[in-house]
Amino acid sequence: QGHDTPTHYCTYIHISSTQFRSAMYRAALSAAALSADAENQVVQGERQPLLAPDQKREVPVKESLHEDWDSTNYDITKLTTWAAFIMVTGGAWDNVSLWRCFGCAILLSCSVAVVIVFIPQASLVAPEKMQKMGTFLNVFVGLLLGFFLSSSMNRWYRCVSAFLELLDAVRSMQMQMIALGVTQERANMLSRYGLLSAWLLHISLHMDANDGIPDETAEAHHSSANAKRLWQSLERKRPGLVLPSEKELLMKHDESYALLWTWVASLIGRMAQNGEIPPMASPTYGRILNIVQEAYGSIRDVRALHLIKAPFIYVHTLAILVHVNNILNAIAFGLVLGMALLEVVGKRDVYNRTRWANMCCSLFMQFCFSMVGPLLYLALLEVSVCVAQPFTYQDAKIPACKFLKGLEEDLKSAAAMGDDPPHWEKPCFKTK
């Protein structure tokens, strides 16, 4: 007579403990397969080699001309002959600032000579005393320039060694992965991260050298613009080296070239947990982490050598001494030149005991001491400043592009040799 009450039926299925464990095992395998598929989506870019045979890099003509110059590629046997006088390109005599200073010294000497000719009391000037005034700083300036040039060369070699240590760390990491039989995707990812770190470091140092180190007020304003320029330059010089998702994460940080090795360390730890390499407590794992630390330390060394220059008070004082020596010698040569002009115009009462041949000899010797000597000191100062900044001046720039291209060729050759051993099968640490 009323509404019927709905009836609920419950069905009970009896599952044994063995079947329950089997079902849970299959569920775990399914979850692991889904996780592996998600991880494989990240490493899809690692299936391609670092250098494809048909890959062509589009580099602007201006950048390629600057990067083709190698300050370390020359024939040293020609420097022991007189052929060194015609090797001007890339040398100290190819700098405009050097000849500008020399031209100013010539102009100062001519001005002093004209003044000597027209002053009425020119006979009271003693040229032999003026010669001593022009040469008293030569020995002192030469000694200081020798010390500065030595420290600059040591700085240059240390910077090159630190950069090469970074590249050697990338090669060592690949060699460890080949010895452990790591999959090609993992090995390519580690090599790509190391190569990306080296490229970013090189481009970043080149940008700092061209733009200068910004001050505190402009640093925050230009950080985002510099980051965009950095990645645009990377895409022009080495396209396809970074994935879009990785680029988005790295662009948030200024020193992304150093933070890449944090990813490498994290990936090494994950591979150890997955059983792809020896566990964390093994000596092999410690050796691999030492490679990561060496790479990170080399990056710090390169940045420190680039940012920390010689104290300004030392370099400024040295430069002032060189220029003051140049000015004093130019004045001394102008005095002797003025005396020679007085002899030419016929005022022989000034030098009635001096013959014309002696005057010409004295004029030539004074030109060598007062003009050629300071010119050599200016050249040494120019060389010392160029060598002290290996990423700033083109004449002493480190051939980083040549090193990076050699690294890519080495990685490609090592990967090909490791994938196809001649008389044995590839090693594999992880049991299948």
Question: What is the Cα–Cα distance from 210 to 406, expressed in whole angstroms?
Answer: 25
Residues 6+ away with beta carbon under 8 Å from 27: none
Instruction: Give the number of other Cβ atoms within 10 Å of residue 205's Cβ.
Output: 24
| DSSP structure class, residue 426 | P
- The DSSP-derived string for 14-30 is ---HHHHHHHHHHHHHH
Residues 6+ away with beta carbon under 8 Å from 324: 137
Burial of 429 (0-12, 13-18, 19+ CB in 10 A): middle
- The region of weakest confidence among 67-76, 178-187, 355-364 is 67-76
Average pLDDT over residues 40-66: 43
In degrees and rounded to multiples of 5, residue 20 shows phi and psi of -65, -45
Model pLDDT for residues 84-114, shown as the tens digit of each residue: 888 888 788 888 888 999 999 999 999 988 8
| DSSP structure class, residue 76 | G
Please report which confidence band the pLDDT of residue 166 belongs to, taking 50, 70 and 90 as the band edges.
very high
Rounded (10°) angle between helices 138-180 and 312-345: 140
Dihedral angle sign, alpha carbons of residues 355, 358, 360, 366: negative
CB-based contact 391:306 (threshold 8 Å): yes
Model pLDDT for residues 342-371, shown as the tens digit of each residue: 777 755 444 445 566 777 787 888 888 888
- What's this model's pTM, rounded to 2 decimal places? 0.74
Residue 291, H or E segment: helix 283-307
- The DSSP-derived string for 228-260 is HHHHHHHHHHSTTSS-HHHHHHHTT-S-HHHHH
Question: What is the Cα–Cα distance from 130 to 144, expressed in whole angstroms?
Answer: 24
CB-based contact 408:167 (threshold 8 Å): no
CB-based contact 241:194 (threshold 8 Å): no
Closest by alpha carbon to 172, among 43, 293, 313, 17? Answer: 293
Average pLDDT over residues 270-295: 91
Which has the higher per-residue pLDDT, 59 or 212? Answer: 212
Question: What is the Cα–Cα distance from 278 to 190, expressed in whole angstroms?
Answer: 16
The SS3 assignment for 180 reads: helix
Q: Is 126 left (phi over 0), alpha (psi -120 to 50) or beta?
A: beta
pLDDT at 292 (0 to 100): 94
Dihedral angle sign, alpha carbons of residues 339, 342, 347, 353: positive
Residues 6+ away with beta carbon under 8 Å from 299: 166, 197, 201, 257, 258, 261
CB-based contact 134:105 (threshold 8 Å): no
Average pLDDT, the chain: 77
Please report which confidence band the pLDDT of residue 194 belongs to, taking 50, 70 and 90 as the band edges.
very high
pLDDT at 407 (0 to 100): 92
Question: What is the Cα–Cα distance from 196 to 247, expressed in whole angstroms?
Answer: 11
